[in-house]
Amino acid sequence: MQELKNQVCPVCHKKEMTLIEDVKEIPHFGNCFIMSMTCENCKYHTSDVEVENNKGPCQITFVAKGDKDMKVRVVKSGQAEVSVPTLRMKVSSGPGSVGYVSNVEGVLKRFKGVIENERDNAEDPDTRKAAKNLLKKLWKVECGDAEVKIVIKDPTGNSVILSDKAEVKKVRG
């Protein structure tokens, strides 16, 4: 593990940023580079996980319904796009996109946070109403009364949803 202290923070510009980089051997993935940046001054934090090997473009589809499916492990590479068609939402890859390890519930919470922010900050009443309707859909999913589809498109093939119910297709790059 390599740790660099007293680096310049890109947000507050103080020399209180700590950079950490580590390499771990992780089952199913091989060597993974784990990186993080944390500023002691402004509390800015970001992290990423990158896999050493590129397995080729793929699309992973998973339909979740019920408590058991909410606990299914999800690994998203920094290059992957995650979408929830039911909510008509997606998080694209690109600058600022990070990899993470979570579960289905955690992925949905990320989308829920965006929708709640839209509901609370939109000036347009129609936008607020649409956000409230999406939150109702998510609430039904959380209660186990509705299912939700999650789709991950990954040009590196390094993302995964660890379930026998996950459908993985190789796609063209």
pLDDT digits over 31-42, tens only? Answer: 888 889 999 999
* 11: pLDDT strictly greater than 70: yes
Label residue 94 by pLDDT band (50, 70, 90).
low
- Cα 77 to Cα 41, 47, 94, 120, 168, distances in angstroms: 29, 12, 11, 30, 15
What CA–CA distance (Å, rounded) separates 85 from 153?
A: 13
Residues 6+ apart with CB under 8 A from 95: none
Over residues 15-22, mean pLDDT: 96
- Which single residue is written with the structure tokens 């929830």? 84
Q: What is the pLDDT of residue 173?
A: 62
Label residue 28 by pLDDT band (50, 70, 90).
low
The CATH number, out of the four listed (1.20.1630, 1.10.3470, 2.20.25, 2.60.40), of the domain defined by the range 1-52:
2.20.25
Q: What is the pLDDT of residue 55?
A: 80
pLDDT single digits (tens) 106-142 = 999 999 999 999 999 999 999 999 999 999 999 999 9
Name the token pair of 145.
């009364």
Comparing 17-31, 36-50, 68-82, 130-144, which segment has the lowest mean pLDDT?
17-31
pTM: 0.76
Asked, colleague to colleague, whether 1-52 and 54-173 share their fold, the answer is no
Quick one: fold of 54-173? Answer: Jelly Rolls (2.60.120)
Over residues 11-39, mean pLDDT: 89
Q: What is the pLDDT of residue 124?
A: 95
Over residues 92-107, mean pLDDT: 81
Hey, where are the domains in the chain?
A: 1-52, 54-173
- Cα 54 to Cα 33, 47, 69, 93, 156, distances in angstroms: 13, 20, 27, 16, 5
